[in-house]
A and B are shown apart, each in its own frame.
Chain A
Amino acid sequence: MSAPLVVVAKNSAEHKRWQYVQWAYVAGFVLLTPLVLQPFEIGKMNRALIMGVAILAVNLVVGFNGMLALGHSAFMGIGAFVTASLVQDENWDYWMIVPVVLIVGFLIGVVVGLPALRVKGLYLALVTIAQAAVFPSLVNIDELGIAARTGGPNGKGVSEEVIAPSYWEWLPGVDGARGGSAYRYWVIVLMVAITILLVTNYLRSRAGRAVLAIRDNEAGAAVYGVNLPIVKTMNFAISASIGSLAGLMWCMDKGFVAGQDFTFLLAVDLIIGLVLGGVGAIQGGLVGGLFVVWVNDLTKRISIPLGLYTLNGDGPLAKAIFGLILILFTFFAPGGIVSLGRIIVNKLIKVVPLTPAGQPIEPLSNFDPGMESTRADVAMKMSIAGPVLLAVGWLLMNVNNLLVGVLAFGLRMGILVLAPVAMLVGSNELAAHADGNRPDSAKGPATMARTLGALGFLFVIGYAVQRFVLTY
């Protein structure tokens, strides 16, 4: 399948329809998470989102500026300890701490970043790795009242819980057994959304363009008048302040911070999440965060007997699995999951921009009469495959095995993609047939794809609504 299934013009009605489906899924995922999952699973989701913000911060330096920052665990730790101390000792509210944490993170970012970024080379990697290694022990220093503030080796608990005020209780999941974690989930989702919006805008701004230019061609950027050390340091400091924000969210979510939580291993987790998600992609952070948390959870449950020796994911080997993933991704998928997803999406749909005169620069799939179209057939197969995979997945659910369970889950999720794609391609092909651009033989499969796909899509939506109503 070389040609994409659908070629649509940018911002056409066709394109909009695809986007609506996409947004419907994002909304459905965000809405259902606090309703369907168990409270401890919501907690994990919160952790994934927090990791996502931290990975986004790392990405800002590594992915968008081409510098190596390996120690964002320390910034997370600083944010978390500042928050814990201000909430517990000074009785501040969380929202009042947000600007404080951002500023503190920024300043420390400047202090750490400026010496290393003044000179070319791997020095930032050197400094940040030392920073990550040093941070957990800095927390325990007795002098200057540091240990009193941070709780030293015992860690610091925050007794004030984040509870939804009465006017927020209508949020899905907040009113009920999972109230606390669900409310924190919503607060975190809001903060994640704002962060992503700000980072996206930042990267489109003058400063952001300078950052990207440095990554792509440092000498060229300098020629165009970009002040390399200043732009790099500002970018690193912004990244540090976002990392501290992730620390604030961490403290808010867990209610307990300790130096051992922010070791070098957390920094390595962030790097792994970055590579898994996708270096240089905004979505990469969230995808990576989800994977780091859930893969960690999965590997812990692995137990494979190999004769005398049992391969346990629970022990030290969990880290080896992460290391293996890191190396495999570096070799075979340097763009991470986001790039793998893009490969699939590119096979499904191609969005073609319009010329100023309103003509698409490539023939759209509706208008290629000469092409012997197999698209309707493919769509029909997809529309059939969706329910079949769903049924197989449902049957496999009863097998009590971790790997089969993951497989079954994947199969059941297949319909999420297959049904709407089949529906949209089918309707596209039918429109093309109505315009006289397809042979009559395409009509049958296209109709079938549209009908079955629409049914599958309705089923998915109905299922989601049913879960929503049931639990709300």
Chain B
Amino acid sequence: MTWNFDILPDFIFNGLSLGAIYGTVALALVLIFKATTLINFATGELAMLGAFLVYVLHMEQGLWLWLSMLIAMALSAGLGILIERSLTRPFDPSDHLPVVLITLGLFLILNAVAGDIWNYQVRILSNPFGKFPSWVPSVGGDRFIEVFGSRLKYQSIGIWVTLALALFILGLILNKTKAGLAFRAVSSNVESARLVGVHTGRTLGFGWAIASAFGTLGAVLVAPQLGGVNPNMMATILIYALAGAALGGLDSLGGAVLGGILVGLIQAVLVTWGGVVVFGQLYMSILQLAAAFVIILITLLFRPSGLFGTRRVERV
């Protein structure tokens, strides 16, 4: 076990890009948690389904990758609305058990259906950020830039830019539109929101829609790092996203993103520490997954509301 400082920047870049993806999935979790105080365990599988939609549209039907991504995001948003309307709305949100059971059931069904249609083999999905586009002046290579003697991959830059754009759009939606205002009202106080005439059910559906779309985006971006799409691709990602959400605070959108990035960084540092060097490949080492568990435990021990979450004060 030795520190290997030479490759540290590599892993930090890698960790930052992975972390950004964890942050996206964590955002999907938090969007639903904020509105309904429930953890949607089917988030990962919904995202996986979205990635498979992109696979079908792009790889099988030959659509332009970005267009198929948009279509897949729209479709999974629709699926999110459908699930919210049909499966979770009938239940009292203050009783967690039924809704968690529903999302667990969905987890099983979506995974099995995807497994039945596409098998459990890894299917290659083309990388939206494989090479620099031709109009970018080449620095160091067509896939990466040399920074501090390390390779900053085009893929990482692309992921960051995409996510920053997506977050910007999300901010616009939440802060400038009426639906966004309604969503913020519902997530801060359901009863009051209902009293002033906000249609809470529709608003929760809106939250589910955005969350599913974000999950899909995360799944598509992570797919190249996993070698492609497969029905179990989101299993570990979801655990990291949960850790990220817990670390950032379960009710803070910005916290979710930052928490996810932090988790990615911690994971990267752990890889360096373990001396495991696998370039360009996401290497799910054993220690790393345990790290997610430990992060959740430590967060709960020292700061249960997370780094950026609001502390709940309750009178008993």
Q: Does A354 contact B (CB under 8 A)?
A: no
Say yes or no: B101 contacts A127, CB within 8 Å: no
Instruction: Say which size band chain B's interface belongs to.
Output: 35 or more
Say yes or no: B113 contacts A138, CB within 8 Å: no
| Option from B87, B98, B116 in Cβ contact (under 8 Å) with A320 | B116
Nearest-neighbour CB distance to chain A for B84, whole angstroms, equals 14
From A154-162, A327-335, A423-431, give the one contacting chain B. A327-335
Say yes or no: B296 contacts A268, CB within 8 Å: no
| Chain B residues whose C-beta falls within 8 Å of the C-beta of A222 in the assembled complex | 316
From B74-82, B178-186, B235-243, give the one contacting chain A. B235-243
Say yes or no: B296 contacts A68, CB within 8 Å: no
Say yes or no: B90 contacts A122, CB within 8 Å: no
Q: Return 15 A-B CB contacts under 8 Å, by A number.
A: A116-B300, A121-B312, A125-B96, A127-B296, A127-B297, A130-B243, A134-B292, A222-B316, A279-B97, A316-B113, A323-B108, A327-B87, A327-B101, A327-B105, A330-B101
Given contacts A126-B39, A133-B292, A133-B293, could you give 9 more A-B pairs where the C-beta distance is less than 8 Å?
A118-B304, A122-B96, A129-B41, A129-B239, A134-B290, A134-B292, A137-B290, A316-B120, A323-B107
Identify whether the interface residues of A are mostly helix, strand, loop, or mixed. helix
Identify whether the interface residues of B are mostly helix, strand, loop, or mixed. helix
- Select the residue from A120, A317, A320 with max chain B CB neighbours within 10 A: A320
User: Whole-angstrom distance between the alpha carbons of A323 and B105 in the complex?
Assistant: 4
Q: Does B112 contact A (CB under 8 A)?
A: yes
Say yes or no: B112 contacts A318, CB within 8 Å: yes
Which residues of chain A (382-429) have a CB below 8 Å from chain B? none
Q: Does B60 contact A (CB under 8 A)?
A: no
Residues of chain A touching chain B, judged by Cβ–Cβ distance below 8 Å, are: 62, 66, 68, 70, 112, 115-116, 118-123, 125-127, 129-131, 133-134, 137-138, 140-141, 218-219, 222-223, 264, 268, 271, 275, 279, 315-320, 322-327, 330-331, 334
Q: Which residue of B lies closest to A318 (CB)?
A: B112
Say yes or no: A334 contacts B239, CB within 8 Å: no
Say yes or no: B296 contacts A323, CB within 8 Å: no
Given contacts A120-B314, A330-B98, contact A126 B246 (CB under 8 A): yes
Say yes or no: B39 contacts A125, CB within 8 Å: yes
Say yes or no: A219 contacts B316, CB within 8 Å: yes
Say yes or no: A130 contacts B105, CB within 8 Å: no
Say yes or no: A138 contacts B235, CB within 8 Å: no
Nearest-neighbour CB distance to chain B for A425, whole angstroms, equals 37
Q: Which residue of B lies closest to A325 (CB)?
A: B105
Say yes or no: B235 contacts A133, CB within 8 Å: yes
User: Whole-angstrom distance between the alpha carbons of A131 and B292 in the complex?
Assistant: 9
Residues of chain B touching chain A, judged by Cβ–Cβ distance below 8 Å, are: 37-39, 41, 87, 90, 96-98, 100-102, 104-109, 111-113, 115-116, 120, 231, 235-236, 239, 242-243, 246, 250, 286-287, 289-290, 292-293, 296-298, 300-301, 304-305, 312, 314, 316
User: Whole-angstrom distance between the alpha carbons of A98 and B304 in the complex?
Assistant: 35
Say yes or no: A322 contacts B108, CB within 8 Å: yes
Q: Which residue of B lies closest to A271 (CB)?
A: B104
User: Whole-angstrom distance between the alpha carbons of A219 and B304 in the complex?
Assistant: 20
Nearest-neighbour CB distance to chain B for A258, whole angstroms, equals 15
| Option from B39, B236, B287, B300 in Cβ contact (under 8 Å) with A141 | B287
- Select the residue from A137, A223, A316 with max chain B CB neighbours within 10 A: A316
User: Whole-angstrom distance between the alpha carbons of A316 and B290 in the complex?
Assistant: 27
User: Whole-angstrom distance between the alpha carbons of A129 and B297 in the complex?
Assistant: 12
Nearest-neighbour CB distance to chain B for A143, whole angstroms, equals 9
Say yes or no: A123 contacts B104, CB within 8 Å: no
User: Whole-angstrom distance between the alpha carbons of A125 and B39 in the complex?
Assistant: 9
Say yes or no: B112 contacts A323, CB within 8 Å: yes
User: Whole-angstrom distance between the alpha carbons of A123 and B298 in the complex?
Assistant: 12
Q: Which residue of A lies closest to B238 (CB)?
A: A133
- Select the residue from A70, A115, A318 with max chain B CB neighbours within 10 A: A115
User: Whole-angstrom distance between the alpha carbons of A451 and B11 in the complex?
Assistant: 82
| Chain B residues whose C-beta falls within 8 Å of the C-beta of A219 in the assembled complex | 316
Say yes or no: A131 contacts B97, CB within 8 Å: no
Nearest-neighbour CB distance to chain B for A335, whole angstroms, equals 12
Say yes or no: A68 contacts B316, CB within 8 Å: no
